Amino acid sequence: MNETPETRPAAPGLALMVLALLPFGLGYFFSYLYRAVNAVVAPDLVRDLGLTASELGLLTSAYLLAFALFQLPLGILLDRFGPRRVQAALVATGAAGALLFALATSVPALTVARAIIGMGFAGGLMAAFKAVVIWVPEPRRALANALVMSLGAVGVILASAPMEYAVGIVGWRQAFIYLAAATLAVALMILVVVPERPAARSTASLASQIADVGRIYRDPVFLALVPVLAIPAGSHIALQTLWAGPWFTDVEGLSRAAAATGLFWMGVAFLVGVLMSGVVADILVRRGISLLTANIGFLAVFLAAQAVILAGGLGHGVLAWSVFAMTGHTAVLAYPWISSYFGPALSGRSNTAINLLMFGTAFLVQFAVGWIIDLFPAASGGRYHPDGYRTAFGIVLGLELAALAWFAWNRRLLADAERAMQTKRAAPPPVRAPAPAAHPAPTASGTMWATGPAT
């Protein structure tokens, strides 16, 4: 359903926006905590189950695979039923997966449980973005998205040294039981606290919504833009949420505690980057600078950080990884751009169409890095060989540079699309028919309020 001056709801107040968005932010907090936690508990899993690098990569990336596969039905569900009910059900599913993970005693059982967690948090960010589209005025959506993402960054922080401390006290299984209980509480909070906004639901048929997904994937502007979003962001997810921790121990020779501290600072850097990118994007948009331009600027720093990491960190490995964490997420700056390009009625499906490719990339990278590492002989002490890491990470960097080249090749097409969007936004709204005599007339300025003519 396209948004028109007649159907657009009145802008909510700040308190109502916080009430509507905070529970979704907590859902994203747990989404990222579960996504990143295996970077800390990996030594426990390897010790208890004797995992190879490829088995560790596959087990951990099962979250990402299930997450990715659920993106298309997720977009349809969000657009049809709204984010409140969909996200509450999914987060409850994630809680069940966490409990199963705590109780599992074999690699297949752990992998299935990890996949259930991934499906349960498949809407962690997209449901929040859909809620932002519903509740936040368009010029401030990039900032609102960044604020929601900042809670995810807090999840990354807690999945590092604090999680290492908790696991050291109660063990990884008991820690997951506590996480499952807290996750269920968030699901109930989303269901009970978030207000409903019926105007946000699509009335289109299921068949037409599925057809819209196909149209999104065939759109030339989408195809021009998505590689530079999906490949770097997917690689960032894959490396930070699993392989950064083993890199610290196996390549840089850090202790497990020192590696957890490195992951902690990466989480802090991720939080700073989320907030910084949102504020910068908000300022740039208000000055007429494209979100795509901002995204490419952050991407250049992200690629440079990876080159420094591959060069051995130049004596500052944790610092280079922190810059990597700070700048690798900024593909989300383009999500409001994509939402505006396809329009509010397709905002859920267009964003989850990107997410499918992004998390599909993350799954492939996370598993492939482990597979490549296993091609090299094990190092002393049962550690994975440093050359395996360097080879895998170098291939990832090459793919990201190829995606940037594809973006540059299609820059004119994207610029034309952006100009068309700006022209559409600048066009005057359609003139409404005169109101019946029983209703008040518009004000002298012609302003029409969301609930009817101005009074």
Q: What pLDDT shows up at residue 225?
A: 93
Residue 380: count of CB within 10 angstroms of its CB: 6
The encoded tokens of residue 328 equal 């690798």
At 449, which helix (H) or strand (E)? Answer: strand 448-449
**Residue 3 clears pLDDT 80, i.e. is over it:** no
SS (H, E, C) 12-57: CCHHHHHHHHHHHHHHHHHHHHHHHCHHHHHHHHHHHHCCCHHHHH
**Per residue in 277-292, pLDDT tens?**
777 877 877 887 788 8
**Residue 202 clears pLDDT 80, i.e. is over it:** no
- Report the phi/psi class of residue 171: left, alpha or beta, with left for phi > 0 and alpha for psi in -120 to 50: left
What does residue 445 show for φ and ψ, rounded to 5 degrees? -80, -10
The count of structural domains within the chain is 1
- Return d(Cα 280, Cα 20) in angstroms, integer: 24
**Per residue in 207-259, pLDDT tens?**
776 787 788 999 999 999 999 999 999 999 999 999 999 999 999 999 989 99
Residue 11 and residue 450 in contact, taking contact as beta carbons nearer than 8 Å: yes
What does residue 453 show for φ and ψ, rounded to 5 degrees? -60, 150
Q: What pLDDT shows up at residue 276?
A: 83
**Per residue in 184-195, pLDDT tens?**
999 999 998 887
- Return d(Cα 367, Cα 360) in angstroms, integer: 11
Lowest mean pLDDT among 105-109, 239-243, 424-428: 424-428
Residue 143 and residue 279 in contact, taking contact as beta carbons nearer than 8 Å: yes
**Residue 452 clears pLDDT 50, i.e. is over it:** no
Residue 287: count of CB within 10 angstroms of its CB: 7
What does 198-216 look like in DSSP terms, one character per residue? Answer: GGGS--S-HHHHHHHHHHH
Cβ contacts of 158 within 8 Å, gap of 6 or more? 33, 267
**Residue 455 clears pLDDT 60, i.e. is over it:** no
The encoded tokens of residue 150 equal 């900042």
Residue 361's pLDDT band (cuts 50, 70, 90)? very high
Q: What pLDDT shows up at residue 208?
A: 73
Q: What pLDDT shows up at residue 421?
A: 80
Residue 324: count of CB within 10 angstroms of its CB: 26
Residue 15's pLDDT band (cuts 50, 70, 90)? low
Cβ contacts of 27 within 8 Å, gap of 6 or more? 87, 91, 121, 123, 124, 127, 128, 186, 187, 190
CATH of the domain at 23: 1.20.1250.20
What is the percent of the chain with per-residue pLDDT over 90, rounded to a whole number?
47
Domain contains 201: yes
| Residue bearing the bigger pLDDT, 19 or 434 | 19
Residue 81's pLDDT band (cuts 50, 70, 90)? confident
Q: How far is CA 415 from CA 55, 225, 300, 411, in A?
A: 43, 11, 19, 6
What is the percent of the chain with per-residue pLDDT over 70, rounded to a whole number?
85
**Per residue in 320-348, pLDDT tens?**
999 999 999 888 778 778 888 888 777 76
Helix, strand, coil share (%) of the chain residues, nearest 5: 80, 0, 20
Radius of gyration of the chain (CA): 23
The encoded tokens of residue 86 equal 């969909």
Average pLDDT over the chain, rounded to an integer: 83
Domain contains 436: no
Residue 440 and residue 434 in contact, taking contact as beta carbons nearer than 8 Å: no
Residue 418's pLDDT band (cuts 50, 70, 90)? confident
* Domain, as residue range, for 168: 15-424
Residue 450 and residue 197 in contact, taking contact as beta carbons nearer than 8 Å: no
User: Span 395-405, mean pLDDT?
Assistant: 97
The encoded tokens of residue 132 equal 């932002």
Domain contains 72: yes
Domain contains 411: yes
Residue 4, Cβ density class (10 Å: 0-12 exposed, 13-18 middle, ≥19 buried): exposed
User: Span 127-151, mean pLDDT?
Assistant: 76
Residue 432 and residue 263 in contact, taking contact as beta carbons nearer than 8 Å: no
Cα of first residue to Cα of last residue in the chain, in angstroms, is: 27
User: Span 439-451, mean pLDDT?
Assistant: 37
Q: What pLDDT shows up at residue 5?
A: 43
Domain contains 444: no
**Per residue in 92-104, pLDDT tens?**
999 999 999 999 9
